[in-house]
Amino acid sequence: MTSERKYIPVSFFGMAVGALAWGHAWRVATQVWALPPLLAQLAAAVGLLIWLTVLFAYGLKWWQQRQAARLELDHPVLSAMAALGPVSTLLAAMTLQPWVPELAWALFGLALGAQLLLGLWLVGRFWQGGRAAETINASVYLPAVAPNFVAATASATLGWTTLGTLFFGAGVFSWLALQPLVLGRAATLAPLAPAQRPLQGIELAPPVVGGLSYLALTSGPPDLLAKMLLGYGLYQGLLALRLLPWTRQAGFAPTYWAFSFGVMALATMALRFLERAPQEQLWQYLAPLAFAVANGVMALLLWHTAALARQGRLLPAAPASGVTSVGSGGGSRCGSGGGPGGRPL
């Protein structure tokens, strides 16, 4: 009997995004509280290691299991996860910038081109219609919102503020256009399948990831817009907490990493507020609380992910046809569904 082949889902780039964002949060924390730099370096190293592992495994998948990789890109939900590849690479570029600036610039250029090409392809396919309303969830933010916000932050970090402003605008208006669609589907159609419910953790990300972009593009104490973005991020965080019993009905799966980017960005944004307005008492309480919660979330994600790996349940089996559902690791399957309208372009 031959052993069952395994493959890495494209959604695992969410692990790289969350881990790299964790490293960024620690970097800011060491600046605000004068913590030992070694802690931030260790967190950054973990993020880079996870990113490199996922990147290598996904490249190997295209080499050895090309059909499965193509089916994911045809899938109405899973295809959006591919946008996390360039997003994680942009975060890796920002992580490496203080240490290896030449490599950071090279990664920035590659990821910027990749996120534009992939985002335009996925969003253009979305605009052609024919997509079933039941396949709409917070993952629709990934092709146009997350890459543009992170590109804005990376551009500003590397000194290209004007370019960053353009990406920030693309991210903001894409987010505002998609928000009613996601909320309308959630309110009027049948509840999301249990395996897909953790994807709603992505809802937390746009206001705070966009907020970090805005802070990177501006200077001085947080202004009204920055506070509005943080306030909406906090509200989404409380809403995610309120929905947690409903979200947890299918048990832990790698899709819970969908919460990681938003949680880390919220903590980093609170730390930036404290850095820029240390006299504000609210930030003195909020920043350590948000940072503690972010580290607790990361510890839980790493622990449960390692547990799935020890049990041999982290990677799904490579299917002969169809694509493993977004709840991979626990393992229900769904067909690829084709591209929008059954005609991927």
Say if residue 329's pLDDT is above 80. Answer: no
The answer to whether residue 256 sits within a structural domain is yes
> Using one digit for the tens of pLDDT, what is the confidence trace for 149-170?
999 999 999 999 999 999 999 9
The answer to whether residue 58 sits within a structural domain is yes
Q: How many domains does the chain have?
A: 1
The answer to whether residue 278 sits within a structural domain is yes
Model confidence, pTM: 0.92
The DSSP 8-state label assigned to residue 317 in this structure reads B
Range of the domain at 263: 10-342
CA 297 centroid distance within chain: 14
Q: What is the pLDDT, as a whole number, of residue 327?
A: 52
Q: What is the pLDDT, as a whole number, of residue 4?
A: 60
Contact 208, 266 (CB under 8 A): yes
> Using one digit for the tens of pLDDT, what is the confidence trace for 138-147?
999 999 999 9
Q: Tell me the CA distances in angstroms from 318 to 3, 133, 152, 250, 315, one per residue in order.
A: 11, 27, 36, 22, 9
Q: Tell me the CA distances in angstroms from 69 to 63, 64, 147, 290, 325, one per residue in order.
A: 9, 10, 21, 37, 13
Model confidence at 330, in pLDDT bands (50, 70, 90)?
Answer: very low
Q: What is the DSSP string of 321-332?
A: SSEE-TTTTT--
The answer to whether residue 225 sits within a structural domain is yes
> Using one digit for the tens of pLDDT, what is the confidence trace for 97-111?
999 999 999 999 999
The CATH number of the domain where 97 resides is what? 1.50.10.150
The answer to whether residue 1 sits within a structural domain is no
> Using one digit for the tens of pLDDT, what is the confidence trace for 192-224?
999 999 999 999 999 999 999 999 999 999 999
The answer to whether residue 4 sits within a structural domain is no
